[in-house]
Amino acid sequence: MLEHVRTEKQVVLDDLYTVSHISKITGEEKRYTLQQLNGIIRTYTSRLEEAELLGDEKLVDSRRKSLRYWKGKRKTLMEKIPLNV
């Protein structure tokens, strides 16, 4: 289901069942479903645990930030999804 979202300069269609992510590397937009986000979060949780075992605080901090980012994306998506589906 798509809904119109109006911004000051343009009208875009916003998918209620995906959330946007802009790649820092390519600058391209990709949209993720809840299932995809859950998989990404599992991956980053595992990577964080590995970093903690290594005792590399810089790596731990980086992976915590990444995990927090993806959990934020999931929260954003969950707030968009209609409850009566």
pLDDT digit string, tens, across residues 2-27: 555 555 554 455 678 999 999 999 99
**Has residue 13 been placed in a domain?**
yes
**Has residue 85 been placed in a domain?**
no
pLDDT digit string, tens, across residues 68-77: 999 999 999 9
**Has residue 40 been placed in a domain?**
yes
Measured at the CA of 54, the angle between CA 52 and CA 59, to 5 degrees, comes to: 65
Pick the closest to residue 72 from 46, 40, 49 (CA basis). Answer: 40
Cα(72)–Cα(79) distance, integer angstroms = 11
Where residue 21 falls (left for φ over 0; alpha for ψ -120 to 50; beta otherwise) is beta
- CA 39, distance to chain mean position in Å, is 11
| Domains in the chain, number | 1
**Has residue 75 been placed in a domain?**
yes
pLDDT digit string, tens, across residues 43-77: 999 999 999 999 999 999 999 999 999 999 999 99
**Has residue 52 been placed in a domain?**
yes
Domain residues for 73? 2-80
